[in-house]
Amino acid sequence: MHPQYKYTFKPFYKPISTLFRFFLISVPCAFISKPINYYPLKLYPNLVEVVLRAMSDVFRDNRPVDRVVSFYLKNNPKWGSRDRSFIAESTYDMVRNWYLLWALLDRKPSFAKADLYHLFAAYRIYKGKELPEWTEFEGIDADKINERASYNYERVTQYSIAPELDELGESLLGQRWEAEIKAMSEAAPVFIRVNTLKITKEQLAADLLSSNIPTEPVSNVPDALKLLTKTNIYTHPLFLKGLFEIQDAGSQLIAPFMNLQPGLRVIDACAGAGGKSLHIAALMQNKGRLIALDIEGRKLEELSRRSRRNTVSIIEVRPIDSTKVIKRLHGQADRLLLDVPCSGTGVFRRNPDTKYRITKTILDNIIATQKQILQQYAPMLKVGGELIYATCSILPIENRPQVDEFIKNNPGYTFLEDRTVYPSENDSDGFYMARLKKNA
C-alpha cells in the first residue's frame, strides 16, 4: 500500500502489526485459561486500577483498546495468567458496553476516579457478581442496577454504539443493521485454521482433544475449528510447530473464494502480518509464487517468521516503499488480492473501540482510499487473471458499489461473483469479497 493511504487512526488499517500485537488483540479470546465467570469473587485493587486506567486511555485519550491492553500486559510481565486474563477480558468487555454501563449507573460518562470505580461496580453487578466491601464501592445500589439492566434501552445505549454510526448503519442496511450490531455486541469466539500442509483437520482436532482442548468443525469453512474452551493456545506445542493459526472463520472464507490452484503467481497487495497469505499458500499446496506486499515492513517481517513456522516456502515479502514496487509488478499476477483498508464494521467484536469513532467524514476518506487502491494496484493483474476485492466491513457502500464503479471505469474487467459474510448469520466476523476477471 502506498504511504499516502496510511491512516493515523490505526484500527482502520490492519490493527495487528506484529506477533506480539496479534497475540494481545486476541487475548480476551485465546489467552484466557478459563472464562472470567469462573474466577473467585476476590478482586485485587491493583488490577482494578489498571482496568480503570485503561478506560481513560481508550475513551479520554482516544487510544485503540488493543494497544492499551498490550501496553499494560507488556509492562507487567510478572502478572500470572489469571491476572492477565482478568485485565484483558474486563477491559474489552467494559469497552464493548461503555454506554450501557453508564446507563446502569444513571450517570453521564466521567473520568473521575470515583466515577470509574462505580462504573466498574456496575459492570461486576451486570455480570452477576457480588462486590467486596471496598470504600470505593460505597453508595452503589445493586438492586437499582439490576432493575435498570432490564430496561429496554434505545439501540445506541443497549449495544453501545456512537449515534452517528448508528444512523449510518441503519441508512445503509435498514432492518438488518440491528441484527448485526446485536451480534457484534458479544465477545468473539476463537477459531483456528488448520495448516493442511502439515496435518489434517481430523488429526489436529484429535491431538487438541488429547490435551483437553475440545473443538468442533465449522459448517462451510473447510479448514476451520472452533475452540470450545479458552486456553493459552499461543504457547501450545501444536501451535509452535505450525500446525494451525488463529484466524476468524469469516476471514478463512476469502482464500478459498480466490479460485486458487498450485503453480499460480499470486499477489497479496495489503498482506499485513499475512494470515490470508499463509492460507493462500496452503491452498496452493506450497507450489507457485506468492508475493506479499505492505507499506509496513515490520508486518512483513512477522509474516516471514510465521511462514517459517508454517513451513511455507513460496511467499516473498516486499515492502511498498515507493510506487516503483507496484509498477515493477504490472501484468504479473494470476490472482490479485486487495484486502483494502475499511471501516472495520465487521470486526467490532474484536475491536470494540472503533464503533465509537467512525464518522461520516472518516468513512468518506476510507471510501476514497479504497477507490485509489483499486485503480492503482489493479494493473499488477495479467490478462485472464482474477482480482479479489475484500473488506472486513458490512456497510454496502464500501463493497459492491466500489466494485461496480471500478468496472465502469475499467471496462476490461468483468464481474464474476461476490459474497457478504454477516456476523448475525455465521457467528464470525463480517466480510465482503468480490471476484473480477481481467479480459483486456
Is residue 327 within 8 A of residue 359, CB to CB? The reply is no
- 225-256 b/e (C-beta count within 10 Å ≥ 16 → b): bbbeebbbbbebebbeebbbbbbbbbbbbbbe
Q: What is the DSSP string of 80-102?
A: -HHHHHHHHHHHHHHHHTHHHHH
What distance in Å separates the CA atoms of residue 139 and residue 118, rounded to the nearest whole number?
A: 9
Is residue 323 within 8 A of residue 347, CB to CB? The reply is no
What distance in Å separates the CA atoms of residue 110 and residue 106, rounded to the nearest whole number?
A: 12
How many CB atoms within 10 Å of residue 147? 11
Catalytic residue from among 29, 270, 342, 392: 392
Catalytic residue check, 270 = no
What distance in Å separates the CA atoms of residue 356 and residue 362, rounded to the nearest whole number?
A: 12
What distance in Å separates the CA atoms of residue 415 and residue 437, rounded to the nearest whole number?
A: 7
Calculate the alpha carbon distances from 320 to 14, 93, 150, 225, 293 in Å: 15, 36, 52, 34, 6
CA end-to-end span of the chain: 24
Question: Which residues are part of the catalytic machinery?
Answer: 392
